Structure 1
């Protein structure tokens, strides 16, 4: 089930944003000229790890209850329809505390970090795993789900 792109349902809140769209948006055909590849800059060292200030801001955006704030925190294309109840359901989590010591790069612009939600949905764990993408100047949420 997904929130962000479509649908928060039942007792769980799971984030699934358009990671493939984001990935293709970063490396599209405009990096190729007349069939010859053009050097695409390496992104291995381009994104600083999530720090405390940015983690706090991300948590506030995700749980603000405001769709405009939520959109600033989600890695979704502009204009992507969000489930109408998404902002409110995320706000019901209370707050998210990211465990910065668990932050691990998946590549130069994506990472995984564990966190804890203050008020987990019924039947789910308070410990969650979040996948983030570094887009522009900040880390944005691609996926979040209760740890199994």
Structure 2
């Protein structure tokens, strides 16, 4: 195994994958990891209050992406920093995770079983379900 994509939204479920990933990074010294945070596309509205909400939401998501990267590099995986890349992307999360993993030539995608949204918690997890069903690459869903 040469490369994994760890797709995270900062949720508790996604964080449960971190210990497993650290073990994989330890076991395979050549393993590289792309930490991927996909910011859901939000279609801005022409209505002024919605424009403000849109800008606020994009700002929150960008701040979350920065926090995820900083935590990964300084707290979660500091000993593997040279083998970690971080990317924040805009798009439909399940689709974009699969696309990026294919573009990167990843051997494995790791996702949490549930995301931050209430609807995600009702199902297996909207994003994880979508990744499992769309990906041509093996997917590890951590519960």
TM-score by length of 1: 0.25
TM-score (norm 2): 0.26
* Larger strand percent: 1
Q: Identify, as 1 or 2, the structure richer in helix.
A: 2
